[in-house]
Amino acid sequence: MTDLEHKEHAADHGPNFQTYIAVFIALCVGTGLSFLANLFLGQGAASFWIIMAVAVFKATLVAMIFMHLKFDWGRLYCIVIPVSVMAVMMMIVLLPDSVFYWHHLHRQQETAAESTGH
Amino acid sequence: MEHAKLEHPAPEHESKAHMGIPLPNGKLAMWLFLVTEIMFFTALIGVYIIIRNGQPTVRQPWPTPHDVHLVEWIGAFNTFVLICSSLTVVLAHWSLHTKNVRRAILYIGVTLALGCVFLVVKAFEYNSKFAHEILPGRIFEKLDGPYGAKFVRHVAAQLQEIEEHHPNSKAIGQVKKLREEIGETFSGLSPKQVNERIVGPHHVKDCDKPERSFMTENDKGILEIDPDLHLSYSIPFGNMWASCYFAMTGFHALHVFGGLVVFTVILVLAWRGLFGVHHELMIELTGLYWHFVDIVWIFLFPLLYLV
Amino acid sequence: MSVAHPAEVHAHPEMNFLSKYFFSQDHKVIGIQFLFTSLIFLVVGGGLALLVRVQLAWPHAEIPLLSWMFQDNGGRMPESFYNMLFSMHASVMIFFVIIPVLAGAFGNFTIPLMIGAKDMAFPVLNMLSYWFMWPAFVLILSSFFVEGGGPAAGWTSYPTLSSVAMPAGEGLQSPAAPNSGHGQVLWLLALTFVGISSMLGSVNYITTIINMRAPGMTLYRMPMTIWAMFITAILQAFALPVLTVALILQTLDKTIGTTFFLPDGLTFGNWITGPGGGQTLLWQHLFWFYSHPAVYIMILPSMGMVSDIISTFARRPLFGYRAMIYSIAGIAGLGFIVWGHHMFQSGMDPRLGTGFMIATIMIALPSAIKVFNWLGTIFHGNIQYTAAMLFALGFVALFIIGGLSGIFMAATPVDIFIHDTYFIVAHIHYVLFTSSIFGIFAGIYYWFPKMFARQMNEFWGRVHFGLTFVLANCVFFPMHILGVGGLRRRIPDITASPREAAFMPLNQFITISALVLGAVQIIFVINFFYSLFRGKPAGRNPWNSNTLEWSAPSPPPHGNFETVPIVFRGPYEYVEVEGHGDHLPQTLKLEGPAPTAGH
């Protein structure tokens, strides 16, 4: 398996035990933070942004450190970046028909209801 | 125009130069597979996000976790379980890398156990949904027209069941009264009034407020008095919620189960004495898959339970 | 994976028949398995098309062969049966013929050979990729026979027609959605299996092409066939999962009562959809997000193969090799942002429509570049009119027509007029039949000697081409006229409307041409099977081509090459060189100064 070893050596050594533990603690703290934000701030705009930012942060940590992406980035960015772009793009393009249309419709219905004095 | 250029015949070491990127085939393939999985869950989660943000209004809102018997701290606990399992699987890889096979097997065993805990907790959560009939196509919403009539009949049957099997409930008085008011022909109260009696005036959604309410600010709904009773109530967009919930968590759970199968295979290999340092790549690839499953849950948990 | 020892004899224990031919992990066998099963489905799909055409031409007559099924309708087919015919014709052709042949058969067969590898990166996965098609085969064929018949909501399966659930206790079909019962669910499951098979295959292909090329085979020395297969595999990997999600959600809608695509309160006869508030347009977005890249999945491999075939038989280097690569990449990349052009009439946000229109029109650019480059390749060439070359040239000519009609449709104002007319049907068939399938025929004629060590009969190949070319144009060109004239698609009886009834003569001409076209394919079938057993024996390189597969024995043994090939040049060195004829194979080691081509 000579070329397998060759390929492995070409890869970076990777994180050590302490790094893994540190990331684990950060993930637990993040989870707790999200839970508490929801508990004390309820379901509103403030808690939404905190919670989603924490989620993105946690996912990034897992991907970069646990999944070794930080060290394999040079070999993998060609597939990770396009798929991220595509994923975000798909959701954005779905917005007008599935979200904005309904908001517009509801606004119209509300103004119609107001003007007829319901 | 292209010339037919003869490229130098490569010197000996160069002709045997390796084409390709310095990444083992398996790792490249696993990342490509994860790309397909990313697109899969993006589509699934994307559907949820846009449906949830599209149609619900202030009057007819998306269900809150309380409406659908979703308990946030259970979800948080499951998140913690998966995070621990991510740690243990990466430590398994690290152990193999530092040539400690026994420790690696131990970590894999712990990961498997944690994964099982996740699925057991999930099963417990699903059970509470089944028990309260929070299932796609079975939730009552929109109490006008034929839906309303169905609702009243269903509730009447449930009230009878409660009277017969739970006579010691704190709300038994209200239960009997409601059943009387509904009457033999199920037309004593409007469906929206029945609904209000069940959930109480504070929890009724705007779109379900009855035209004529007989309840005051201080009255309590049956489920406010005894939340454990199995009584249906209107949940606007409840069916949509259940559809999304079961699709997303169901597929995630299937993926968790797939990972557990692989961990079991690894443990069987170890039990038969066939597992060794040469399995480092396999553990790494399994770990990649497992971390991905964890990342999906990292997004699912807040999207379903918290925000 | 590692450098092979010369004269490496694969010391396998002798494999039994099953593991050698059925559960083979050899990419060549798997490729041929895909080819055979797909050709069977080509006959099924073609038969369905002919039934469609017969109904269109003689709507009030008894259906030949099947009139016994419709005795209570006077032997005529009911409308729901017609809906089922065209739905299944399209589904079978797209998912069980073109994609498996291009990606499964040709992809599997050519990729390791043309890049100098012994096999795919994951042979077991490759075998699984083929066997995952079998549940799909069983499911799709059984959908014809279940109660309620095959699915009839179009291959596009739009809700709400397709998604209406089967209400428990009220019979298998809701009254307003005939043929939307079990058959539809089987269709959904079949396509899910096809998707899984394709996804496994694409992971394999990408890994193989990136990591298993022979020494010296840099990316820019790969033949266009491989570039096309590579980019097609990327398209599949990115786009298929979204279709899988859509199929699963629709299956859930039909079976367990979810309402992803069903708005609430719709009544069908006595039946009412439950509350739930789903969105029908969502299905269209999810479906077309995959199905538009799917059409590029269906054309790009043909384009790649045609590039190689034209270069070989014109004895000329491919004009603009890099431009060809970037064009394929451009088509694929743009292909991800144009799906809405199938939905101009759906009621989606018009601003989205504008965006999709602009992106769609832009795709014409790389497509045109490719056409010009093919023409540039042939220019001043020493053309050999073999059957493969004829089909390749036919591809180029008729792809121009298909592409041009596409530009009409790309413009939203025009599409509003021609959407759901025969103009669209014409476009579809010019790009799928006279382009993709011509490419498939070209590939079969071209690689048949490598696969089976025999050559197909050239004379009958040319006859096959000539008749197919003429008849295909007779069938599909008039559809442009019908479409602009306003003949709607997917209706079984055009005489019901006096305006459309006027088109009947042209319609009948099309049907008769189609029947003859179908009959002509028998020539190909006979040629194929006769040549398998009695064809002229072929050597390694009957076409004097440059690419690596022609340096392997015919048929290549397990492991493909006797020694690991070393690549010295690109694949298109068709130049006169002293002592080496008119071409320089990729593996040929030359001494001395570089020869240059005079142009």
Peptide bond before C192: cis, by omega within 30 degrees of 0?
Answer: no
Count of structural domains within chain C: 1
Instruction: Name subunits touching B (3+ CB pairs < 8 A).
Output: A, C
> Are residues B54 and A6, on separate chains, in Cβ contact within 8 Å?
no
DSSP result, C150-211 = S--STTTT-TTTTT----TTS-SS-TT-TT-SHHHHHHHHHHHHHHHHHHHHHHHHHHHHHH
CB atoms within 10 A of CB B117: 16
User: Using 50, 70 and 90 to split pLDDT, how confident is the model at C10?
Assistant: very low
Contact C375, C396 (CB under 8 A): yes
The alpha-helical segments, DSSP class H, found in C274-349 are: 280-314, 321-335
Residues on chain A touching B42 (C-beta within 8 angstroms): 87, 90-91
Q: Does A111 touch chain B (CB under 8 A)?
A: no
Residue type, C162: S
Q: Six-digit token pair at C515?
A: 């029947």
**A41 and A93 share one domain:** no
Nearest residue, CB atoms, A91 vs list B46, B55, B301: B46
- Closest residue to B42, CB basis, from A90, A99, A101: A90
Q: Are residues A23 and A2 in the same domain?
A: yes
C285/A contact by beta carbon, under 8 A: yes
Nearest neighbour of B288 by CB, restricted to A4, A27, A67: A67
- A10 → closest Cβ in B22, B50, B90: B22
Question: How far does A87 lie from chain B, in Å, by closest CA?
Answer: 6
For residue B82 the two structure tokens come to: 């998966």
Rounded to a whole number of angstroms, the distance from the CA of B3 to the nearest CA of chain A is: 32
State mean pLDDT over C500-515: 95
- Is C259 in Cβ contact with B4 (below 8 Å)? no
Instruction: Decide if B4 contacts C577 (C-beta within 8 A).
Output: yes
Residue of C nearest to B6 (CA): C594
Scanning the structure block, which residue is given the tokens 């917005």? A95
Q: Among B185-189, C145-149, C403-407, C594-598, which is the least confidently predicted range? A: C594-598
- Do B23 and C211 lie within an 8 Å CB cutoff? yes
Contacts of C159 in chain B (CB under 8 A): none
Q: Does C182 map to a domain?
A: yes
Q: Residue C254 domain-assigned?
A: yes
Give the distance from residue C273's alpha carbon to the nearest chain A alpha carbon, in angstroms. 20
CB spacing of A94 vs C282 below 8 angstroms: yes
pLDDT of B2 reads: 37
Q: Do B25 and C237 touch (CB under 8 A)?
A: no
As a whole number of angstroms, the distance between CA C588 and CA C578 comes to: 14
The answer to whether position C47 is within a domain reads yes
Higher local confidence (pLDDT), B297 or A9: B297
pLDDT, greater one: B113 or C576: B113
Give yes or no: residues A48 and A4 share one domain.
yes
Average pLDDT over residues B195-201: 90
| Closest CA–CA distance from residue C375 to any residue of chain B (Å) | 14
Test the B interface: residue of A39, A73, A98, A100 with most B CBs within 10 Å: A98
Q: Is residue C385 part of a domain?
A: yes
Write the residue in A82, A89, A94 that is nearest to C285 by C-beta. Answer: A94
**What pLDDT, on the 0 to 100 scale, is given for residue C13?**
59
Show residues of chain A in contact with C337, CB under 8 Å.
89, 93
Q: In angstroms, how far is the first alpha carbon of chain B from the final one?
A: 61
Tell me which of A30, A50, A67 is where a domain ends.
A67
Domain span at residue C297 reads 24-262+275-551
CA distances from C465 to C384, C387, C441 (A): 15, 7, 9
The beta-carbon neighbor of B6 closest among C203, C218, C595 is: C595
pLDDT of residue C592: 63
Per-residue pLDDT of B120-176, as tens digits, reads 999 999 999 998 889 988 888 888 877 888 899 999 999 998 989 988 888 888 888
Q: Is residue C11 assigned to a domain?
A: no
Residue C376's closest chain B neighbor by CA? B1
Q: Are A53 and A25 members of one domain?
A: yes
Mean pLDDT, chain C, rounded, equals 90
DSSP code string of C531-573? HHHHSEE--S-TT---SGGGGS-SS--TTS-SS-----S-TT-
Counting one residue from A and one from B, how many pairs have CB atoms under 8 Å apart? 132
Residue keyed to tokens 């930080």: A70
Which pLDDT value is given to residue B12? 37
Which one of A2, A82, A100 has the shortest CB-CB distance to C2? A2
Instruction: Indicate the helix (H) or strand (E) that contains C272.
Output: strand C271-272
Residue finishing a domain among A41, A67, A93: A67
Opening angle at CA C521, ends C515 and C525, nearest 5: 145
Mean predicted confidence (pLDDT) in C546-573: 91
Q: How far is CA B45 from the centre of its chain?
A: 11
- The answer to whether A102 contacts B299, with C-beta atoms less than 8 Å apart, is no
Q: Which residue has the tokens 């508490």?
A: A36
With a CB-CB cutoff of 8 Å, which residues 112-171 of chain C face chain B?
Answer: 121-122, 165
- Residue C565 lies inside a defined structural domain of this protein: no
- For residues A61-84, give the mean pLDDT: 90
**Contacts with B240 from chain C: Cβ below 8 Å:** 259, 276-278
Write the DSSP assignment of C87-101 as a string of letters. Answer: HHHHHIIIIIIIHII
Tell me whether residues B246 and C258 touch, CB distance under 8 A: yes
pLDDT above 70 for B292: yes
Q: Which amino acid is at C330?
A: G
Contacts of B51 in chain A (CB under 8 A): 98
- Residues C474-486, mean pLDDT to the nearest whole number: 95
Q: Which of B38, B53, B292 sits opposite A83 (nearest CB)?
A: B38
Query: Residue B10: is its pLDDT beyond 60?
Result: no
The pLDDT of residue B211 is above 70: yes
Task: State yes or no: pLDDT of B52 exceeds 50.
Answer: yes
- pLDDT-derived band at C169 (thresholds 50, 70, 90) equals very low
- Say whether both A4 and A61 belong to one domain: yes
Closest CA to A95 of B52, C104, C312: B52
Contacts of B294 in chain A (CB under 8 A): 62
Is the minimum CB–CB distance between B295 and chain A shorter than 8 Å? yes
Q: What pLDDT is attached to residue C411?
A: 94
Counting beta carbons within 10 angstroms of the beta carbon of residue C68, is it exposed (0 to 12), middle (13 to 18) or buried (19 or more)? Answer: exposed
| Predicted model pTM | 0.92
Q: Which residue has the tokens 């968590």?
A: B249
User: In whole angstroms, what is the distance from residue B132 CA to residue B142 CA?
Assistant: 18
How high is the ipTM of this complex?
A: 0.90
Q: Do A96 and C336 touch (CB under 8 A)?
A: no
Identity of the residue in B4, B35, B141 whose CB atom sits nearest the CB atom of C238: B35
Is residue A49 domain-shared with residue A85, that is, in the same domain? no
Taking contacts as CB-CB distances below 8 angstroms, the residues of chain C near B136 are 252, 256-259, 276
Whether A8 and A39 share a structural domain: yes
Nearest-Cα distance to chain C for B96, in Å, is 24
Whether residues C237 and B36 touch (CB distance < 8 A) is answered with: yes
Contact status of B36 with chain C (Cβ, < 8 Å):
yes
Q: Does B43 touch chain A (CB under 8 A)?
A: yes
C18 belongs to a structural domain: no
C336 vs A86: CB contact, 8 Å cut-off? yes
In whole angstroms, what is the distance from residue C245 CA to residue B45 CA? 10
What CATH number does residue C242 fall under? Answer: 1.20.210.10
* Residues spanned by the domain of A90: 73-118
Check: CB of residue C344 under 8 Å from CB of residue C415. Answer: yes
Determine contact, residues B37/B30, Cβ cutoff 8 Å: no
Among C2, C282, C351, whose Cβ lies nearest the Cβ of A96?
A: C351
User: What is the tally of structural domains in chain A?
Assistant: 2
B54 contacts in chain A (CB < 8 Å): 98-99, 101-103
Average pLDDT over residues C390-402: 97
Domain assignment present for residue C432? The answer is yes
CB atoms within 10 A of CB B111: 27
